[in-house]
Amino acid sequence: MEFNFSPFPYLTTAQYELRPLQPTDEKEVFALRSDDAINQYLDRPKATSIDDAKQFIRKIIDGVANNLSIFWVITPKGESTFFGSICLWNLSTDPRKADLGFELLPRYHGKGIMQEVIPVVIQFGFEQMKLEKIEAEVSPRNLKSVRLLGKNNFTLAVLNKENPDSVIYELKRQDAITH
């Protein structure tokens, strides 16, 4: 069974909407991908120009169109303001699993946004995508993300001996359903 993200799966919570990434999001994408505070926990090249953001946006839009990943922009309900993003990527059909990724612009940190959004993305992954497992790779130094994953019933799965700044948390379908 393959993944299919057409039509695009808009999601909502009590306060937020999850919409597709648009080319007009380039300034916010650049702000996220060039921010030192955010990048200190991520293994990715830092964006150095708005062209880097445009290239990333094209890659994401193509990936969603080709059912390789699903990527949402988080906005307040009824607005288009870009707060951050959340995605399911690195999709696998055998076993059926995906990696969870998320990030917020720093001015929106600590407001409970991800705690409200992550459960609907997990529900989408297990119910619509029929995933068996969702993983999240984080730096153990990123204590806020580690706590957030714990609040959403993820458990530590793998310590990366080759990269001590990377651990993998997982949430299995049966564990999500029993909570």
Identify any residues that bridge with 171 across adjacent strands, giving them in sequence order: 134
What would the pLDDT profile of 92-131 be if each residue is shown by its tens digit? 998 999 999 999 999 999 999 999 999 999 999 999 999 9
Mean pLDDT of the chain: 94
Query: What count of other Cβ atoms lies within 10 Å of the Cβ of residue 145?
Result: 18
> According to DSSP H, which parts of the chain are helical?
26-34, 36-39, 50-65, 113-123, 143-151, 173-178
160 pLDDT more than 80: no
pLDDT interval class at 162 (50, 70, 90): confident
The pLDDT of residue 33 = 96
